[in-house]
Structures are given as C-alpha cells and as structure tokens.
Structure 1
Amino acid sequence: MHEDLTQHLRHHVYELAGKIGEHNVFHPKALHAAEAYITEEWQSQGYAVHKQAYRTHGVDCANLEINLPGSGLDQQAIVIGAHYDSVLGSPGANDNGSGVAALLELSRLFQKIAPETAMRFVAFVNEEPPFFFWPNMGSMVYAKAAKQRGDKIRFMISREMLGCYKNQPGSQAYPPFLKYFYPDTGNFIAFVSNLRSRGIMRDCLGAFSAVTDFPMQSIATLALVPGVSLSDHLSFWRQGYKAFMITDTAFYRYPYYHTAQDTPDKLDYAPFAEVTNGLFLMLCRLTNAVRHDS
C-alpha cells in the first residue's frame, strides 16, 4: 500500500540528508544545494517557485513558496510549511528532511486537484539554532512580511519530523505529567496547538480521522509547555495567525534528534507514507478539493 509514495519520500530524504548532507548557513554550499533541489522538484511538478530572499550571517538565504489558487470566494489561504535547513552537526534526515519530503509529495499529489480554498506550500530556511525564535528565522521573516501585506491566512500547518514510529511499549516520552494521559507507545502522529488555535486543529483532526485510521493524538495547551512551540508555527502565532504543528513528537520519541546519526536509514518509511497520504486526504477534505483532468 502506498508503495510509490513510500519510494518518493525515501528518495527525497536520501537526496537531502544522504547526498547533500548537513545543510545550514555554516555549510552554505549544501544549504544552496537543498534550496536548488526543492526548487527543481517543484518546477518539475509544474509549479512556479517564488523566492523570498534575504541575507544573514554573510549567506544568501531564501524561503521557497508555491501557490495553489482556490476556486471559491473565500480569499483566505491555508499555509503548509516545513523548514529545510538541518541543525549544526546533523544531516537532518528526520529533522527536517521528512517534513520537506512530505511537503514535496503533498504538492505532487495536488497536481491534478483543484482546491476551493487556496493553499501555499512553503519551505522555510533557518529554523534551527542560532535562528530559532529570532527575527532572521525564515518563518519569522515570512510571517512578518505576510502580516505587513495584510495576507489573509486561514491557518498554518507546520510539518516537523514525520518519520519515526515505534510499536514497542515504552517508546514514547512526554513533557512532565503528560505521560499519565497519553500512550507510552510511539506509533502515532501528533497534532499540537496553542489554545487560540485549538478550534482549527480540531477541524483538521476530524478531517484526518475521517480519511484514515492511522493512530493520532492531539494536545492544545500553553506555548510554554516544552516542545509545543518548537517549530515554524511559533512564527505565525507571534504575528497573530492561527497555526499548529503535526509531528512524530521529535526528541520525545526519536533517539537521533539533533545528532550526526539522524540519517536516512533511521526513518520508518511505510508509516510515514501512510501519514502523508492521510494528510493529503485531510487537506482535500478541508479545502473541498475536486480532481480535474489536464
């Protein structure tokens, strides 16, 4: 099941984290290679790629965006994002090669789909330290510019580490006290939001559960709970937009988080593909999308 999707996801992760390897401003040649790979993949899918370029730490950087216009009257767009830089010292297979791979495959699956609600797929640069939380973080640059333009964003979804799934009891950890309310087996995908965004997250949960039986958990809580704000959705919260994260829970499950061992062979590609297909069907449902022939 989903064999082609599984192979496509694997290919993207191996290209980004295996062939290119560590890619960030401290390895600018590799960062630009990752940027070029994403750009070329989207262009090969028939999309026009828009660059939001800026310079930091003496390196030219860019957020990358493609747009799917909506056929409906609602002018609000859904933003689907993932960061494409890897942390210093890591090739970033799961963090966040998996998120980028899913982003590329979701756009491919939407090639012959017409959504009623407009969508933007965005690959953000510079999510990892030393940029996280600060103005030169790629998604901060993007969200601030969107706010200044008055962009109508219905909500944003951050794809942050989607490739690790474990069926062994005891494979899942949590922030303090949450272990009493959630399963200790790390075989699920998690939806994570702040309190203000819980309504849109619940809508997405309902759509996801209607199209797949893949295990899922969710939490809407304060941003200060450890791990809840650790991705690009934080940038949108800070600009007043609603946003949430979809994740395999990162360091609460994945033992190679932010290490040199975060390599493509560590990911669980079959469940990763099942999750990605579920997210595609979820987005189709949320945007009232219909298939068209071209």
Structure 2
Amino acid sequence: MAYKKFPALCAGGCALFLALIAIAGGSMVILPGESYRGALPPLEREELQLRDRLRQHVVQLSGTIGERNVAHYDSLVKSAEYVKAELRKAGLSVSEQPFAADGKVVANLEVEMKGTTEAQEIVVIGAHYDSAPGTPGADDNASGVAALLELARQCTNLRPARTVRFVAFVNEEAPYFQGEEMGSVVYAQRAKERREKIVGMVSLETIGYYADQPGSQRYPAPLSHFYPDTGNFIGFVSNWNSQSLLRQAIGAFRRGGVKFPSEGVAAPAGIPGIGWSDQWSFWQQGYPALMVTDTAPFRYPHYHEPSDTPDRIDYGRMTRVVQGLGKVVEELAGK
C-alpha cells in the first residue's frame, strides 16, 4: 500500500462533511449482513494446512527474498519468479505483461480462467508483489500476494460464469504510485483500450495484522465516528461509484460461514486511505473496484518500516480472511 501526505481537516470542515455523509452517504454504514462477533473457533485440519501455505509464501517473499522493487531489481525478479512458479505448481498457465520502468523490464503476472456463460464479463483479483523502499514488506504486501496465490489455487477447478483473472501487479509502491509506470495503471489502461468489460476488481492489500486492544484502530476523519476502535477486523473499502460491488463482496464474505469480523465503507476517493492501492487505477478507467485490507497505517505500527517482517503476521486470522475471500471470488465469478 502506498500513500501521499494529506492536509489536516479543520473541525468545521469535518462537521460539514459529516452532515453531507448523513444526507448522501448512507452506503458508508448500511451493508448487507452483520459483522461476526465473538471468540474465533480453533482452526481445523485443512485450515491449518492453508495457514502453513500462507506463512510459507510470506516468509519466502519478505524473509528469504526481502525488499523487492526496481531499486532492488534482482529481488523483484526473484519474487516474480516465485509467484509464477507457485501458480504453475497449481497447474495454472501464467502470462506476463512486461513494460519498462526506469530502463528496466518489469511485469504484471496474470492467470485467466475463462468464463462459461458470461465470458465477456471479467472479474480481476489483484495484489502487488513489490515492497516499499526500505522494507521487506511482509504485511505490505506479501500477505496480499500469499492470499492471491492460495485463492488462485483454490479456484483451479472452478467453472465460473464470468471470466476470472488473478493478477500480481508490479510497482504499486513509491516512486511509481499513481504514476504511468505503476503496474495496475498499465494494466487498467490496456483493458480500457481493448474495451474489456471488467465488472469488478478486488485489490488484496495488507491483510495480515490484527489487534484486540481498544484504541488499536485509527481512521482518517471523519470515519472514526462510524467504526470500531479495535483493529480485529478485515476491511472492505470502495469509492462511491463502486458501492454495489462493495455490497456484493462483503455480503458474500458474511454469508460464507467464516467466523471473522468485517467492516465496510463506500466513501469519497479523496478521503485519505480510500484510494491507496491498485483499485485506484481501475477507478481512473471507470471500472468498479474495491480494496480488502487490515487498514495498514491506521492500525499496523510496522507499516513501511524495516520491521515489517514475517513474524508480525497473524497467520491464523489471515487464514480465516482468505477463506472468506474464497466465497467472495465464487460469488463475483458467478459460480
């Protein structure tokens, strides 16, 4: 997850904005189903196996390989090779979208599962595999890539009505964030040029850190007035134009039987954090898109730090999130 510095909002501005939200933004808080509350049951055998695979991916990307970006080009290439190898190990065919960034060849990596009855409609599940400068990027974003790999593996035998693409994006982090050499920008622009009908994009972004202490969760103004102050949930985040996708996705997560807290927000893209990942690139092309996140800098003390290491991740809770996301993919795909 990348971000830009933002100005403080004055108290009067917040009050006005809250009033506008109350009038026009009910979608910020009114979502299908209810967030799970209560103790989390122990992981069962298959869940433990999934947990171990998720840990393996995070350790390999952020522990063994470490910082991976154009400035650490060899490591970026190694991480791409790891992603491709894991997808191929699952029996999936990987295509590449290469392009130049600062004179070096980088690539988005894609697996496509062709739809049966609605093949022209496309669902994209994405995560960026680069890390920010100076950090090994366990939560940001080896956690998202690990989820991407396991969701793709789970969907190997899926026969979706819609075409489903799993995409590992390069160059989400600075200095490429929201620039022409950001991997998802290149991808979304190409999709638009080809007149592809992307009906939903889900960005898997920092999904591995959770905390049970009151006050462990913060928000940009004015969201703190609406959401819990304990960082034990997974968040679904979209702009207003993608609120239908948000409702469908979080509804599928909550109906799917996975016992894990979830919160959702559809809000103006200008609120800090709302557009801080690859979903932003799809919004620029008019496609509906959302982000699934642990909220990164609003919760995680090691965000964009050298201490964002594999031992910080809660693999048990991350396992439950990935299980729930499997239900989201199935519903969006029209299984």
TM bracket, shorter-chain basis = over 0.9
Runs of 4+ in 1 over 6 A off after TM superposition: none
Deviations along 1:108-142, one digit per CA (max 9) or x if unpaired, are: 11122222221000000000000001111000000
Q: Structure 2 matches for 1:195-274, cutoff 5 A? A: 195-211=240-256, 212-274=258-320
Tell me the amino acid that sits aligned with residue 145 of structure 2: V
- Distance in 2, matches of 1:190 and 1:15, equals 26
Q: Which residue of 2 aligns with 1:292?
A: none
Q: Which residue of 1 aligns with 2:24?
A: none
- Distance in 2, matches of 1:241 and 1:113, equals 24
* Conservation of the 8 A alpha-carbon contact between 2:118 and 2:163: no
- Distance in 1, matches of 2:283 and 2:273, equals 15
- Distance in 2, matches of 1:284 and 1:56, equals 34
* 3-state SS in 2 of match to 1:82: strand
Measured after TM superposition, the shift of residue 155 of structure 1 is 1.1
Deviates further, 26-35 or 69-78: 69-78
- Distance in 2, matches of 1:134 and 1:285, equals 32
Q: Which residue of 1 aligns with 2:53?
A: 8
Is residue 46 from structure 1 mapped to residue 121 from structure 2 by the alignment?
no
- Distance in 2, matches of 1:112 and 1:120, equals 14
Measured after TM superposition, the shift of residue 285 of structure 1 is 2.9
Is residue 282 from structure 1 mapped to residue 331 from structure 2 by the alignment?
no
Q: Structure 2 matches for 1:89-104, cutoff 5 A? A: 89-104=134-149
- Distance in 1, matches of 2:242 and 2:302, equals 30
Is residue 166 from structure 1 mapped to residue 194 from structure 2 by the alignment?
no
Query: Which residue of 151, 158, 178 maps to 1:113?
Result: 158
Tell me the amino acid that sits aligned with residue 186 of structure 1: G
Tell me the amino acid that sits aligned with residue 281 of structure 2: S
- Distance in 2, matches of 1:120 and 1:272, equals 22
Q: Which residue of 1 aligns with 2:23?
A: none
* 3-state SS in 2 of match to 1:197: helix
- Distance in 2, matches of 1:245 and 1:82, equals 10
Measured after TM superposition, the shift of residue 74 of structure 1 is 4.8
Deviations along 1:209-248, one digit per CA (max 9) or x if unpaired, are: 1012311111111111011000000000001111010100
Deviations along 1:157-186, one digit per CA (max 9) or x if unpaired, are: 101000001111111001023212110110
- Distance in 2, matches of 1:177 and 1:192, equals 15
- Distance in 2, matches of 1:213 and 1:29, equals 40
- Distance in 1, matches of 2:235 and 2:78, equals 30
Work out the percentage of aligned pairs sharing the same amino acid. Answer: 48
- Distance in 1, matches of 2:285 and 2:298, equals 28
- Distance in 2, matches of 1:256 and 1:58, equals 31
Give the TM-score of the pair, scaled to structure 2: 0.85
* Conservation of the 8 A alpha-carbon contact between 2:123 and 2:332: no
What residue ranges of structure 2 are gaps of 5+ in the alignment? 1-42
Q: CA RMSD in A?
A: 0.9
Measured after TM superposition, the shift of residue 51 of structure 1 is 0.4
- Distance in 1, matches of 2:193 and 2:222, equals 39
Deviates further, 200-209 or 268-277: 200-209
* Conservation of the 8 A alpha-carbon contact between 2:235 and 2:262: yes
Give the TM-score of the pair, scaled to structure 1: 0.96
- Distance in 1, matches of 2:117 and 2:309, equals 42
Is residue 141 from structure 1 mapped to residue 175 from structure 2 by the alignment?
no
- Distance in 1, matches of 2:271 and 2:210, equals 23
* Conservation of the 8 A alpha-carbon contact between 2:120 and 2:196: no
What residue ranges of structure 1 are gaps of 5+ in the alignment? 290-294
* Conservation of the 8 A alpha-carbon contact between 2:152 and 2:166: yes
Q: Which residue of 2 aligns with 1:36?
A: 81
Query: Which residue of 103, 108, 126 maps to 1:58?
Result: 103
Measured after TM superposition, the shift of residue 89 of structure 1 is 0.2
* 3-state SS in 1 of match to 2:118: coil
Is residue 21 from structure 1 mapped to residue 66 from structure 2 by the alignment?
yes
* 3-state SS in 2 of match to 1:145: helix
Tell me the amino acid that sits aligned with residue 278 of structure 1: G
Q: Which structure has the greater CA radius of gyration? A: 2
- Distance in 1, matches of 2:48 and 2:160, equals 25
